[in-house]
Copies of this chain bind each other. A is one copy, B any other.
Amino acid sequence: MSISDAPQFTIVGSGLAGALLACYLGKAGKRVDLYEKRSDPRRHGAESGRSINLALSVRGIKALEEVGLADRVLQNAIPMRGRIIHSPTGQQTFQRYGKDESQAINSVSRAGLNLILIEAAARYPNVRMYFESRCTGVDLKDMAVEVVEEVGVCNQEADTPRSPRHIQFETLVGADGAYSAVRAALEKQERFNFQQDYLSHGYKELTILPGQGGTFCMEKNALHIWPRHSFMMIALPNIDGSFTCTLFWACEGPNSFAAIQSEADLLRFFKEQFADAMPLLPNLAEEYFHNPVGPLVTMRCSPWHFEDRIVLLGDAAHAVVPFLGQGMNAAFEDCTVLARCLEKQQTEAAFQDYERLRKEHADALADMAIDNFLEMRDRVASRWFLIRKKASLLLYKLFPVWYVPLYNLIQFTTTPYADARGRARKQDRMVWRVGIGVLLVLTGLFVWLSAFR
């Protein structure tokens, strides 16, 4: 490898964040090497990964626009204009997200989107990608990343243990997800703050198959929710007419994944709780007992960088629970901000600036995502919640400049997360004050009128 050939940036992980950053850096003319543990999806077809579809909203779209990929991605997306709440008796209630039809979040396939990003990155001659290359650690002394060649899907060789290669890097980007090996190396550094918090709930994916001729068996342009207080199921549409359902439930205890021991238990549970969905899940038992229970984890750390040598991106820096559908959108925003910071200044200053601009908002998102879990699971089905939601959307329609609900600030604006939360709190206080004021005036008026009679 000649000097001019050496990469300026070494990215670990070609998931959504890593592949998009490769596009940004590729466009900026940087020499980038990318290492990915999975096999090349362009050759082997996409892996059926953890969560199969995702909600892309304006933050993510903006980030894709900057590398000219937004239109391409949106062509394969299904807009979801609101929630449909499924009651235990099968009644459906539609709750619109926005003030009109134009506001929607977009259901996209994770694998499809990842493929688009990898293809786009590969088009830059200055970006090189190495698949089936798992990062197992980082040597901070020698500034080298340890990479082990994976035995790929199509590789039938004997699984002899392979010793890791040490690959020198100039600047390393850890985009290797919530269980980041790059971050693990930083965790052992003094004064590296780190926190991993699991919900007691986990998730399992199930599939609603398309109807005859690829038709949708439920409303296509909505996110479906079966809220059941201590647990819930959701479903997002896929372009082939199917829906990917995700069941969120406690991992342990009498009312939990662990309590389902047999097919009979499972069918009884679904019949009781998700009667309207059951006929749409023909492979329920097979999928249920085959698919793993995924964890729901929040990861926080600081600093996000090590000198001018290593920086963390997306889930590696700030994994959040999926209940606002913002994990990917936030990771895409990271790419935009990091790339912009790198344009303007020296690497270490850029990393500091990137963290200063993003950390506070990533923390706010983590908190709000947990809050929204409680809202979706529990409050979404209550009458009082519905009244407040309607009142809030009415206020939004009447005073669209002055009042925007928190959910809409998150999904339909690029207001940074912490600012959105601050604004929503202010709005709520104001509404209460105005409400109390109106009540006082009305009471006064009533007393005054009564006295006149």
Contact = CB atoms under 8 A, between A and B. Distances in A.
B195 A191 contact: no
Interface stretch (A196-204, A393-401, A444-452): A196-204
A251 B303 CA distance: 15
A196 B196 CA distance: 9
A292 to B, nearest CB: 10
A123 B392 CA distance: 72
A194 interface: yes
A289 interface: no
A196 B251 CA distance: 25
Contact of A197 (B193, B196, B200, B295): B193
- The A interface is mostly helix, strand or loop, or mixed, namely strand
B193 A295 contact: no
Contacts of A251: 191
Contact of A198 (B192, B196, B197): B192
Number of this chain's copies in the complex: 2
Interface in A164-202: 187, 190-198, 200
A161 to B, nearest CB: 15
Interface size class on chain A is 10 to 19
A193 B193 CA distance: 14
A198 B193 CA distance: 6
A11 to B, nearest CB: 24
A251 B196 CA distance: 25
Contacts of A194: 194-196
Contact of A295 (B190, B195, B200): B190
Contacts of A295: 190-191
Contacts of A195: 194-197
B191 A200 contact: yes
A198 B301 CA distance: 11
Contacts of A200: 191
A296 to B, nearest CB: 9
A152 to B, nearest CB: 25
Nearest to A199: B191
17 contacts: A187-B196, A190-B198, A190-B295, A191-B198, A191-B200, A191-B251, A191-B295, A192-B196, A192-B198, A193-B196, A193-B197, A193-B198, A194-B194, A194-B195, A194-B196, A195-B196, A195-B197
Given A191-B198, A191-B295, A192-B196, 4 more contacts: A191-B251, A192-B198, A194-B195, A195-B197
